[in-house]
Amino acid sequence: ARLQRDLREALQRQDFALHYQPQLALDGTVVGVEALIRWRLEGHGMVSPMEFIPLAEKTGLILPLGRWILHTACRQLAAWARHGARRHLTMAVNVSAGQFQQEDFVQQVREALVETGAPAHRLKLELTESLMLQQIEAVIARMRELQALGVQFSLDDFGTGFSSLAYLKRLPLAQLKIDQGFVRDILEDHNDAAIAQTVIALGHSLGLEVIAEGVETEQHRALLAQWGCRFYQGYLFSRPLPAEALQDWLDAQP
């Protein structure tokens, strides 16, 4: 109840920030970023989105919050589109199941794109497997509506859900994201190594891009590269950064 009130107040004050974590291709070029929401609550420190996103969904506050996230990410994307050297960068935005299922979600995305002038084809929505536990036909229909706008999709945390592989080929996805839980232990754990290799092969055989998240060391990157993974995200390259720090980080790239 306390946190709920704090969340409501934080929304009014727009006390949130988006941080951006770089995503890199095999050759080290930056291809885009993932937007990750941050909330600093006075007298408490950072509150994890794993804590307040579910609360926001339960209370309906996800509506205005989700709108803010989309607009803020799209505003940044639009700024890059006008900036010669950064015009190719993509913006990945996490969308929780409850958010995706709001009746006016497609309209929210359309508005964010129109109002900011962001290029739709550089916006990538990260969906989770939990969404696939819902009415799959309705989910696919909605994805197609968004796809018609030009928006792309990544399946986040892949391998952690309970869903079957049967839906995978039916979803209009551009990308699979190997969950960091599998990436973390690939150097020591044969099972996780096998899973990571399988996800890479599976994604590619379905014509999807595969990105590994949670890449923390050069050994991890090299092993994933050996298995054919072409996109990377993780502390090895950069933590999620505030917009200003990200600009500096991008400027410092070769």
Q: Which stretch binds ligand G (CB under 6 A): 4-12, 34-42, 102-110, 190-198?
A: 34-42
Residue 139 or 166 with smaller CB distance to ligand G: 139
Which of 2, 108, 95, 92 shows the shortest CA–CA distance to 53? Answer: 95
Per CB under 5 A, does 34 bind Na ion?
no
Residue 129 or 156 with smaller CB distance to Na ion: 156
CB of residue 137 to Na ion, shortest distance in Å: 25
Q: Which stretch binds Na ion (CB under 5 A): 4-12, 78-86, 157-165, 219-227?
A: 157-165
Contacts of residue 7, Cβ cutoff 8 Å, sequence gap at least 6: 52, 55, 56, 59, 61
* Partner whose footprint covers residue 49, from Na ion, Mn ion, ligand G, none (CB < 5 to 8 Å by kind): ligand G
**Using the rule CB under 6 A, which residue among 1, 50, 166, 252 binds ligand G?**
50
Gap between the Cα atoms of 31 and 199, Å rounded = 21
* Partner whose footprint covers residue 234, from Mn ion, Na ion, ligand G, none (CB < 5 to 8 Å by kind): ligand G
Per CB under 5 A, does 156 bind Na ion?
yes
Residues between 143 and 172 that touch ligand G (CB under 6 A): 156-157
**160 in Cβ contact with 188 (< 8 Å):** no
Per CB under 5 A, does 126 bind Mn ion?
yes
Residue 41 or 82 with smaller CB distance to ligand G: 41
Per CB under 5 A, does 157 bind Na ion?
yes
Residue 155 or 193 with smaller CB distance to ligand G: 155
Binding mask 67-96 for ligand G (x = CB under 6 A): --x------------------------xxx
- Cα 156 to Cα 36, 71, 161, 235, distances in angstroms: 13, 21, 10, 18
Gap between the Cα atoms of 31 and 180, Å rounded = 19
Our CA dihedral for 44, 49, 52, 58, rounded to 10 degrees, sits at 180
Per CB under 5 A, does 192 bind Mn ion?
no
* Partner whose footprint covers residue 24, from ligand G, Na ion, Mn ion, none (CB < 5 to 8 Å by kind): none
Per CB under 5 A, does 94 bind Mn ion?
yes
Question: 158: which strand partners?
Answer: 178
Name the site residues for Mn ion (rule: CB under 5 A): 94, 126, 156
Binding site for ligand G (CB under 6 A): 21, 35-37, 48-50, 53, 69, 94-96, 99, 156-157, 180, 213-216, 234-235, 240
